[in-house]
Copies of this chain bind each other. A is one copy, B any other.
Amino acid sequence: MTIPNLQIALDNNSLSEAISSISKAGPFVDIVEVGTILCLQEGVEAIRCLRALFPKKIIIADTKCADAGGTVAKNCTDAGADWMTVICCATIPTMKAALKEVHDLQVELYGNWTFEEASQWLEAGISQVIYHQSRDALLAGESWGEEDLLKLRKLSRMGFKVSVTGGLTKESLDLFKGIDVYTFIAGRGIAQAEDPATAAKEFKAEIQRIWGE
């Protein structure tokens, strides 16, 4: 089992806020995500600026693309993104078109996706998915449930690199022990911490403690 990556999601309403969020924690994370809110607020200029700030880190454009995959992907790549996200209900031709134009593509799992669809993504050459904790569960005050963990394990066994997101704190990482998580995505858990650099370092140390044994 490899050591999971740590990704910071920048879901700010402006580029300046995003830059402020990332400036302290940035050096300690593996992957920088230009969140959907930020993409829609500032356009691809946000990708360009984060690439300029972090020339060597993996940059993800979280477009949750549903259509016009080729065009959206090319635009993100041109702006400096390495990877891009598509939504799970996009059609296979849309995903394939996007995959041609980016270094890698991630399918965002929302709503009623099926493992049959997941097999089709694999067949289409897609190797990454992002598993979100159910928002309904989050609103109902629940944490990650056994059903989530079973699905994560199954996706991993199918051959996917699985990223995990949704209300993650460093205290919650233990829940995923024994699962081959590719990346943990944290947003407010790092960006809105009193000391974002320390928060990022503590996340990394906890990942190392659990998966580095």
Q: Which residues of A contact B (CB under 8 A)?
A: 11, 13, 36-37, 39-46, 63-68, 71-72, 75-76, 87-94, 108, 110-114, 117, 132, 134-136, 139
Main secondary structure of the interface of A (DSSP, over half): mixed
The quantity of this chain's copies bound in the complex is 2
**Cα–Cα distance between A87 and B86 once the two chains are bound (Å):** 12
Smallest Cβ-Cβ distance to A91: which chain B residue: B135
> How far is B213's CA from A42's CA once the two chains are assembled, in angstroms?
46
The docked-state distance in angstroms from the alpha carbon of A65 to that of B110 is: 11
CA distance A110 to B39 in the complex (A): 21
- Set B11, B40, B114, B132: member contacting A43, Cβ < 8 A: B40
The CA-CA distance from A134 to B136 in the complex, in Å, is 30
B36 touches A44 (CB 8 A): no
